[in-house]
Structure 1
Amino acid sequence: EKIDIVDVFRNPKFIEEIIKEAIEIKAGVVWLQPGSENMEVIEKYKDKIDIIYNSCLGVVSRMV
């Protein structure tokens, strides 16, 4: 079964491995919760998978 969103609450030093795994399983998007951002890693992988950051999934979902 396809995973639509990988929602991440982790220290930024772990983000690269999580993004690589998300790409491997063909997840739809990686959503980095505030404080999880690693801009170097985001730049490296932004052309391989959609990455959302600087936004809380819980807050955004209540706005819809």
Structure 2
Amino acid sequence: MNPSTLGHLISARRIERNLTQAQLGRRLGLDQSRVSQYERGEKIPSKHLKQLYDVLGINPAEVEQ
């Protein structure tokens, strides 16, 4: 999955869970600006990917499609 598509998925799941970028960032130990970069596809959350999937309920198989 390209960074932009992953970013849209992260954003959609965050919104579904009624989380702000700042709230999601706190759960991941990041600041809001890093979450924003992930959602815009500017950065890949490689270091936090598993934790991000867990918090947002993303099945890794979804991402591989």
Q: Same fold (TM over 0.5)?
A: no
Q: Tell which has more relative contact order, 1 or 2 (C-alpha 8 A, sep 6+).
A: 2
**TM-score normalised over the length of structure 2:** 0.29
Q: By percentage of residues, which structure has more helix?
A: 2
Q: By percentage of residues, which structure has more strand?
A: 1
